[in-house]
Amino acid sequence: MLTLISREEDLAVAALPEDVDFFTSADVRAAGEELLDGGCRYLVLDTTPVDYIDSTGITVLLTFWQRLEAAGGALLVAVPDEHLRWRLRTLGLTGVMPVVPTLPEAVSRARRFRSMTRRPRREAAADLGIETA
């Protein structure tokens, strides 16, 4: 249940649905897995439509992040809603994946990250504003 906004080679931009919860997460995950199975290594998710996300929705984001990280790619999340950004920061997600306030910024970072894939992961992560341990 993702809405594909754009696709260029291995970079996909998609919008999450209004509710990402127990009832919709399986569909969201299946749609995301289809993108990843189709060669997507860099996924930008737009949360603009999101009114509600629960723990199952957060788990879907983490699942995408883990799979993309293992493939040498990245998940970036555009979160214009300040409260949702605060919640993601409180959960520690901003320490593992870029969470940025606008979709254009997330897409720009994904393109930059894609161009830096030959650089060491820590250096690339620092350039993208990801905290590393």
Whether pLDDT at 36 is above 70? yes
Whether pLDDT at 133 is above 50? no
Q: Which one, of 74, 69, 90, 70, lies nearest residue 13 by Cα? A: 74
Give 88-100 as a DSSP string: HHHTTGGGTS-EE
C-alpha to C-alpha distance for 80 and 67, rounded to whole angstroms: 25
**Among 33-42, 53-62, 108-117, which is the least confidently predicted range?**
108-117
Of the two residues 91 and 123, the one the predictor is more confident about is 91
CATH architecture, domain defined by 3-127:
2-Layer Sandwich (3.30)
**Each residue's pLDDT tens digit, 65-114:** 999 999 999 999 999 999 999 999 999 999 999 999 999 999 999 999 99
Give the residue extent of every domain in the chain.
3-127
